[in-house]
Chains A and B, each alone.
Chain A
Amino acid sequence: MIHAPSLIALGQAAEPATRTPLYIIIVYMLALFALGWVSSRMFRGSSKDFFVASQSIGPFMLLMSVFGTTMTAFALVGSTGKAFSLGIGTYGLMASSSGLIHTACFFLVGIRMWSFGKKYGYVTQIQFFRDRFESKALGYLMFPILVGLIIPYLLVGLMGAGNYIFGVTRGMFPGTFAAGAVPAWLSGLVICCVVLFYVFFGGVRSAVWANTFQTIVFMVMGLVGFLVIADTLGGLSEASAKALEHSPEKLQREGLMTVPHFISYMLVPLSVGMFPHLFQHWLTARSAKSFRLTVIAHPICIMIVWVPCILIGIWAAGLYAAGDLTVPPLPNGNANPNAVLSAMVKKFMDSPILIGLFSAGVLAAIMSSLDSQFVCIGSMFTNDFVVPLKGKVSDSQKVWLGRGFIVFIVLITYVISLFETKSVFNLGVWCFSGFAALFPIAFASVYWKRVTTAGVFASVIATVITWAMFIYDALGRENGEQWFGVKEHGEYLIAGVMPVTFIFLASVVALIGVSLVTKAPKQSTIDRFFPTNKA
């Protein structure tokens, strides 16, 4: 179960705590209900509006929704926990590289995908691939793979929320729940219901509205929370000095990661180029110019969110080493990295109102990803599975099919989340690795005329086989018994680099190799997808 069972096993009783933060979280949830209701009133009833908001989203809302979607529990709970165990290098591993790579994906691939969506009326990524590679079978192959990769991503959100709420509500319900904290099954259930409410009625338009609101909330509250924690610790310099004194290794990368490990992480952010939910957000843009603000501001927004989280993580490491901070342990006795942020908030934020507002910000970051993923899954099921299979489906049937599948997937994910105990950061990285390895297909589809359907099939299959093999080796086998890699500092590395390196390589070799030995695509297809550069 995800609600820190080790605490219960150790019989750690929490001191009674005020419920004010929880009341603030409840008010925030009610505000989201209201926002969902208002935005759903603007729903135009068509499937195009439900799935891509009738391509009416302007620059600011596009930035907020794209950025909010890419920042999840991984960015707040995960990054703080990872910095706690791996130090400042965590920022370079994911944040600064994302500022370059994510934006490259938006600029080089996103704008082109948007243009094809606008011109040919696509609402999902698979529709584009089916057309581009003239293969319905490719759509059927990619549908379960993409859904299968999104589910761990959804889990990251639910697990992060569960861990955080458990930590921050400790002592609020003594005698009712274990450790007096709201259990993860309950917080996960509430979050699923709130997000389901607004995406069910308003589709992607509601998701964009909610994302904009939630992104502003989590950016502002993240900064406020960071400054309050720093102030309680005696100021920024004092807090960092403590980390330097008691946990100096966390202020550098030597001994915690190697250069090849660090370099190989650069492949992970390529995943955004293949995220189906991000593709859908790209398609909501009113015009190509709407992308401009996102392209420039995305790296800065990442910095605003991640730098405070990394600093809180290394401060926590120093305090933990000095014995000034208790972090709930994992069953193996090590500190639970997912619980670091809530432990810091609980210990170093005096005001219950601030704790409540900061916690609303953490949940905002998590829910702003869940909503897009939910809508995307519904869109894919309807447009990539049912419609190609059944043929004619009415517009209102499409909307209802989408809604039905959203509910189905949320239920499945919720049940899995009750039994999952992996690190939020590491689970996220596995999920991103799968998407990153599929990115060459997206890139080739808009830049390489010679890429063939067979090449794409080979690339997808190579990705699935290598990804499944490595994830089984890393998570399904006992430490020390792995076939391919070893675990170092909580990371599974193969020959000193991230597994994504080999998965990506297999995908690229299969894509290029098979494309070159199979028949080139028809000239009409090339003309259709390279309209400004006809051969």
Chain B
Amino acid sequence: MKNVVYALIVIMAIIHQDFWWWDNKTLVFGFMPLGLFYHALFSCMAAGVWALAIKWAWPSDIEEWAESADEQGGEQ
């Protein structure tokens, strides 16, 4: 499922470039320009994709390693 999440992120990066209604001035709900509405929707979809990333691609291995006994051996 991890790969699905990464594929979704790539798809999101592609559909962000919505050149197909570059010159569209339609007002959605009577006040929201279409280009702005689409990108507001994009923000919501991004939140959804990241929720899936947490579910399917969470870095549990690194989390467990970090939360095991502290080493504190870095140069300071």
Partners in one complex: yes
Q: Which residues of A contact B (CB under 8 A)?
A: 88-89, 91-92, 95-97, 99-100, 103-104, 107, 111-112, 114-116, 118-123, 127-128, 130-131, 235-237, 239-241, 244, 248, 251-254, 259, 262-263, 266, 287-289, 292, 295-300, 302-303, 307, 310-311, 314, 383, 387, 531-532
- Within 8 Å CB of A383, what residues of B? 76
- Within 8 Å CB of A296, what residues of B? 47, 50-51, 54
B19 to A88, Cβ gap below 8 A?
Answer: no
B65 to A531, Cβ gap below 8 A?
Answer: yes
CB contact under 8 A between A100 and B13, given known A237-B30, A254-B23: yes
- Within 8 Å CB of B44, what residues of A? 299-300, 303
B16 to A100, Cβ gap below 8 A?
Answer: yes
Give the top 9 A-B pairs by smallest Cβ distance, nearest first.
A120-B74, A115-B66, A254-B23, A236-B31, A303-B43, A237-B30, A96-B39, A288-B63, A532-B61
Query: Among B12, B18, B23, which residue has its beta carbon within 8 angstroms of that of A92?
Result: B18
A-B contacts besides A114-B66, A531-B62, 12 pairs, CB < 8 Å: A91-B39, A99-B47, A115-B62, A127-B75, A235-B31, A236-B29, A237-B31, A251-B33, A262-B19, A288-B67, A296-B51, A311-B32
- Within 8 Å CB of A287, what residues of B? 63, 67
Task: Report the nearest B residue to A254, measured CB to CB.
Answer: B23
A295 to B53, Cβ gap below 8 A?
Answer: yes
A118 to B46, Cβ gap below 8 A?
Answer: no
B46 to A100, Cβ gap below 8 A?
Answer: yes
Which of A96, A121, A266, A387 has the most B CB atoms < 10 Å from its CB?
A96
- A89-B21 Cα distance, complex, nearest whole Å: 11
B27 to A244, Cβ gap below 8 A?
Answer: yes
Name B41-76 residues within 8 Å CB distance of A: 42-44, 46-47, 49-51, 53-54, 59, 61-63, 65-67, 70-76
- A95-B36 Cα distance, complex, nearest whole Å: 10
A307 to B40, Cβ gap below 8 A?
Answer: yes
Which of B12, B39, B40, B71 has the most A CB atoms < 10 Å from its CB?
B39
- A122-B66 Cα distance, complex, nearest whole Å: 13
B12 to A100, Cβ gap below 8 A?
Answer: yes
Q: Which residues of B contact A (CB under 8 A)?
A: 9, 12-13, 16-19, 22-25, 27, 29-33, 35-36, 39-40, 42-44, 46-47, 49-51, 53-54, 59, 61-63, 65-67, 70-76
Query: Among B18, B43, B73, which residue has its beta carbon within 8 angstroms of that of A99?
Result: B43
A387 to B76, Cβ gap below 8 A?
Answer: yes
- Within 8 Å CB of B75, what residues of A? 127, 130-131
B5 to chain A, nearest CB (A): 10
Query: Among A96, A128, A241, A244, which residue has its beta carbon within 8 angstroms of that of B43?
Result: A96
A309 to chain B, nearest CB (A): 11
17 A–B contacts from the bound complex (CB under 8 Å): A91-B35, A92-B39, A96-B42, A99-B42, A99-B46, A100-B9, A119-B65, A120-B72, A121-B73, A236-B31, A240-B33, A262-B17, A266-B16, A298-B47, A298-B50, A383-B76, A531-B65
CB contact under 8 A between A95 and B39, given known A121-B74, A131-B75: yes
